[in-house]
Amino acid sequence: MSIQTIFKTTSATFALIPGLAVMLAIVKLPPGVSNILFGAIVESLGVFTLLVLFLLAKKIMLLPMKRVLNMSILFFSFFVFAILLYLGCCDILIIHTNKFETSVLFPLWGSSELDNLINSAGSRYNLVFQYGPAGVEDIIAQDLFALSFTKIFLCLIYLSIFEFLIFSFGLIGLRLANHE
C-alpha cells in the first residue's frame, strides 16, 4: 500500500471524527447550540479544507520541507491555543450545577442588572443556585445580542480548533504523500 493511499484513507477518516464527536455530544458545545447542526458544519468545513489543501498540493510541493514543517507546527500551536481558549471561556461562561442538572451560558458581557446580581450573589454559580437556571436565563435573555455574540464567539473558537488541526496534519500529509 502506498503512502498516498494511506494518506487519502486517513484523511477521509480523520475528516469524519470531529463532526461525529460533535453530533454524538462527545465534545460539549455551549448550551442552546444544536449538536447535529454544528456537527454537520464541522464536517462540511473539514472536507472543504481538505479539498482546498488537495487543490493546492502542487504549490505545497514547491515549498521546502522545512517551511511546510514550520507552517504545520504553527497551525498545531494555534490548535493548542484554541483548545485552551475554548476551555477557559467555557469554564468562565458556562455554569453547571448538579442541583439543577443543567447548564447556563452567561454572555461575555452582562447588563448592569446581571452584573449587580452577580456581585450581590458573590459569583455566577451562586446566582444560578439562588435564582435557579430559569430565573437567570430570563435575566440574560434581556440582552439577546450579548448572548448571541457569545454563542457565535464560542462556536468560532470551537471550529478553529478542528481547522487548525486539519491544516497542521494536512500540510505534512500532502507533502509526505507526494514525496514518494
- Ordered by start, the domain boundaries in the chain are 3-177
pLDDT tens by residue, 72-126: 999 999 999 999 999 899 889 988 887 778 888 999 888 888 888 889 988 889 8
DSSP, res 106: P
Record the pTM: 0.78
**Cβ density class 153-177: b for 16+ within 10 Å, e for less:** ebbebbbbbbbbbbbbbbbbbbbeb
Cβ within 8 Å of residue 165, ≥6 positions away: 18, 75, 76, 79
